[in-house]
């Protein structure tokens, strides 16, 4: 899904896939909920999915809220799309929510499990309102679906920009 601007050269879009607290422990943390796949395997799944969608995927994980917010600022400054699994930050980090509200490119919230089917404290996402959408409950496939959504959102934005550019050229 690489876009072809004037000149016919494919544009590969960089996407950040950000992961919050404890996701670095995938494979050993509550495998009955999060599965037995390691974080490294998740990262490779995201990168290979991205390649198939002509996206360059940079997968990161942190247990530190300030580091996560720094990455979100980096993405906003670079107009870079983001897939984010905020993990525990989902439910209480207004600082992360405010950083995400400054986004300049598509944003998809993702969760491996379905928070709505779990403990009541997990039912609220403070970041959902500033995201284009949320994909949850499909295990690691949630990340693949989120990356597909990013690719589709980018393609739609490119079509809109092309239509606008074409309309501007048509005016005398």
Residues labelled as active-site residues: 34, 111
- E strand or H helix at 116: none
Q: 170: number of CA atoms within 13 Å, CB side?
A: 6
- Fill in the DSSP letter of residue 118: S
Rounded CA separation 33/84 (Å): 19
Strands 107-111 and 13-19: unpaired
In three-state form (DSSP H/G/I as H, E/B as E, the rest C), the secondary structure along 71-111 is HHHHHHHHCCCEEEECHHHHHCCHHHHHHHCCCCCCEEEEE
Strands (E) in 20-81, as ranges, are 55-61
């Amino acid at each position: 899904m690489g876009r072809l601007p004037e000149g016919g050269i494919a544009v590969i879009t960089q996407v950040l896939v950000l992961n919050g607290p404890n996701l670095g422990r995938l494979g050993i943390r509550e495998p009955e909920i999060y599965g037995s796949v390691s974080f490294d395997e998740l990262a490779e799944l995201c990168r290979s999915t991205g390649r198939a969608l002509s996206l360059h995927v940079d997968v990161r994980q942190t247990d530190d809220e300030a580091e996560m917010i720094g990455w979100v600022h980096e993405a906003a400054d670079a107009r870079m799309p983001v897939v984010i699994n905020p993990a525990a930050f989902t439910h209480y980090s207004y600082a992360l929510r405010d950083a995400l509200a400054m986004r300049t490119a598509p944003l998809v919230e993702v969760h491996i499990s379905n928070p709505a089917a779990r403990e009541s404290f997990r039912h609220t996402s403070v970041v959902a309102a500033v995201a284009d959408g949320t994909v949850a409950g499909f295990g690691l496939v949630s990340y693949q679906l989120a990356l597909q959504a990013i690719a589709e959102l980018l393609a739609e934005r490119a079509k809109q920009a092309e239509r606008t550019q074409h309309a501007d050229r048509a005016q005398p």
